[in-house]
Amino acid sequence: MAAWLAFLKSRLLLPPDPEAEGPSAEDMAAHLAFQLERLQAMRESAARLMARDRLGQQRFVRGAPEQITRNRQTRWQAGLIDLMRAYARLRTRDEFRPYAFDRRDIFTMEQALERVRGLIGYVGDWTELADFLPDGWADQGGRRRSATAATFAATLELARQGALEIRQSETFAPISIRRRTADDRPDNSGRETP
């Protein structure tokens, strides 16, 4: 560029040579001005392009997602207890049976309430709770527990209603019940009548 400018300046300062071929100094100056205008236009375009939002920095594209590769590494850590638990789980998996609740051996509280209400009127004095158990239920273990619990809950409900009294002479002694008479019931003041 410096050589081109020096040649152009020399052509403009010196008088034109009539025998010289090629473009005149004015044509060369016009061509240089055109080249400088093109250079200026390129610089402005480059500046505008560089001032735009850049992809991946200020502007992001939409469309198909990029292929992201995931490298997954599994690292197992197990101690002796973990291994023993896993072994026990495998050994007991085939032997496991879900618990099936046998409803034939259940004596419900509703049945016990019905039974105690029906029998309490025929009992005169203190009677043990075990005497109110249904026939055949007092001999077997699971059925006896069910009948005893339901009968005890029924007697508590009847005692709360004021239909009978409950007593126990000492800890772990048999529980006795009797029907509450009109003389034993409290009056309106909350005191028992003598």
Res 42: pLDDT:
95
Q: Which domain holds residue 135?
A: 104-179
Asked if residue 105 has pLDDT above 70, the reply is: yes
Burial of 29 (0-12, 13-18, 19+ CB in 10 A): middle
Helix (H, G, I), strand (E, B) or coil at 154: helix
Q: What are phi and psi of 179, to 5 degrees?
A: -75, 140
Tell me which of 117 and 186 has the higher pLDDT: 117
Long-range contacts of 145-149 (CB under 8 A, 24+ apart): 146/105, 146/106, 146/107, 147/107, 147/112
Res 60: pLDDT:
74
* Contact present, 11 and 25 (Cβ < 8 Å): yes
33-37, 55-59, 69-73, 95-99: least confident range? 95-99
Domain assignment present for 92: no
Burial of 108 (0-12, 13-18, 19+ CB in 10 A): middle
How many independent structural domains does the chain possess? 1
Asked if residue 102 has pLDDT above 70, the reply is: no
Tell me: the pLDDT tens digits for 48-91? 988 888 777 777 777 777 778 888 888 888 888 888 988 888 88
Q: Any idea what DSSP says for residue 178?
A: E
Res 141: pLDDT:
67
pLDDT confidence band for 193 (50 / 70 / 90): very low
Domain assignment present for 148: yes
Domain assignment present for 21: no
Cα 123 from Cα 116, distance rounded (Å): 10
Tell me which of 40 and 58 has the higher pLDDT: 40
Tell me: the pLDDT tens digits for 119-174? 887 777 888 888 888 877 766 667 788 888 888 899 999 889 888 888 888 888 88
Give the full edge-to-edge strand order of the sheet including 176-179.
Answer: 127-128, 176-179, 164-167
Res 41: pLDDT:
95
Domain assignment present for 171: yes
Tell me: the pLDDT tens digits for 7-22? 777 777 777 777 777 7
Domain assignment present for 117: yes
CATH number at residue 175: 1.10.10.580
Domain assignment present for 191: no
Asked if residue 185 has pLDDT above 60, the reply is: no
The span from the first CA to the last CA of the chain, in angstroms, equals 135
0.75 surpassed by pTM = no
Domain assignment present for 161: yes
Tell me which of 167 and 99 has the higher pLDDT: 167
Res 45: pLDDT:
94
